[in-house]
């Protein structure tokens, strides 16, 4: 059912999202590259809005856009490739799906800021913030404690695979009490569910280095 409170897409967020990827980024499963979508948006900015706005209004991300290729790459200098930890995976999804994902990310970031859901020194995964924004609060705290003649030792924690194991139902339950618009919560729930991925192995780990994408053609 269409949500009357859903805010339609506008030109500027789509334009910003299209600036994010490189022109040489690998295309998704349908083979349509970013460069083509950028060209389409330059010629007629209303096309992408017309294609994606109904998905926001109906809070729905269709299965045709929830397919991805997972390119399995071996980590160099590993003594053995018998363990999954010896490989890394690059997920390549459909381009038009990622455009809508980025636009929604911008909206969620704005909502999180306005609702006070983020820590004041949160810098990761937020548009417009960089590594320098993360360093400045750390330097401020360190110098403040040093003036008090205290010893300072920073501790960095890397949360491994946190996003990969996010549960759609749990995330939905956490978003609802924050007064996040219901159409956004429903779309996020739809986006995170029932993805289909295909593993792609460009070459065996023992092969000599070569181009990873696109795979070489058979002669």
Given this model, what pLDDT does residue 160 score?
A: 65
Q: Over 64-129, what HEC string results?
A: HHCEEEEEEEECCCCCCCCCHHHEEEEEEECHHHHHHHHHHHHHHHHHHHHHCCCCCCCCCCCCCC
Confidence class for position 210, pLDDT limits 50, 70, 90: very low
Tens digits of per-residue pLDDT, 132-187? Answer: 888 888 899 999 999 999 988 888 877 666 666 778 888 888 888 888 889 999 99
Average pLDDT over residues 186-192: 91
**β-pair type (196-200, 67-74):** parallel
- Whether residue 5 contacts residue 179, with contact meaning beta carbons closer than 8 Å, is answered with no
Q: What is the pLDDT at residue 204?
A: 60
pLDDT at 201 > cutoff 60: yes
Residue 23 pLDDT > 70: no
Residue 211 has pLDDT above 50, yes or no: no
The answer to whether 73 and 202 have CB atoms below 8 angstroms apart is yes
C-beta atoms surrounding 194 within 10 Å:
10
Q: What is the pLDDT of residues 61-102, one digit of tens each?
A: 999 889 888 888 888 888 888 888 888 888 888 888 888 888
The string of pLDDT tens digits covering residues 97-117 is: 888 888 888 888 888 888 888
Q: Name the more confident of 47 and 159.
A: 47
pLDDT value, residue 190: 92
User: For the sheet containing 87-93, what is the strand order?
Assistant: 87-93, 67-74, 196-200
Is the separation of the CB atoms in 88 and 73 below 8 Å?
yes
Task: Please report where in the chains the tokens 């909502």 appear, as a residue.
Answer: 111
Question: Greater confidence, 22 or 144?
Answer: 144
* Per-residue pLDDT at 143: 93
What pLDDT does residue 213 have?
47
> What's the CA gap between 68 and 157, in Å, rounded?
30
What average pLDDT does range 47-53 have in this prediction? Answer: 89
What average pLDDT does range 10-31 have in this prediction?
80
Total-model pTM:
0.73
């Amino acid at each position: 059912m269409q949500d009357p409170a859903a805010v339609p897409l506008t030109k500027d967020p789509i334009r910003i999202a299209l600036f994010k990827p490189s022109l040489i980024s690998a295309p998704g499963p349908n083979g349509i590259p970013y460069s083509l979508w950028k060209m389409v948006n330059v010629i007629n900015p209303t096309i992408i809005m017309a294609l994606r706005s109904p998905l926001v209004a109906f809070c729905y991300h269709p299965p045709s856009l929830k397919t991805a290729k997972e390119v399995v790459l071996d980590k160099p200098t590993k003594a053995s490739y018998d363990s999954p930890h010896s490989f890394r995976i690059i997920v390549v999804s459909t381009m038009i799906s990622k455009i809508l994902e980025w636009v929604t990310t911008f909206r969620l970031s704005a909502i999180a800021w306005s609702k006070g859901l983020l820590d004041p020194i949160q810098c990761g995964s937020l548009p417009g913030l960089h590594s320098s924004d993360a360093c400045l609060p750390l330097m401020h705290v360190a110098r403040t404690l040093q003036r008090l003649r205290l010893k300072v030792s920073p501790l960095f924690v890397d949360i491994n695979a946190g996003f990969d194991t996010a549960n759609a139902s749990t995330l939905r339950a956490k978003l609802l009490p924050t007064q996040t618009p219901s159409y956004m919560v429903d779309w996020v729930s739809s986006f995170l569910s029932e993805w289909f991925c295909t593993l792609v192995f460009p070459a065996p780990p023992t092969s000599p280095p070569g181009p990873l994408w696109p795979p070489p053609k058979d002669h």
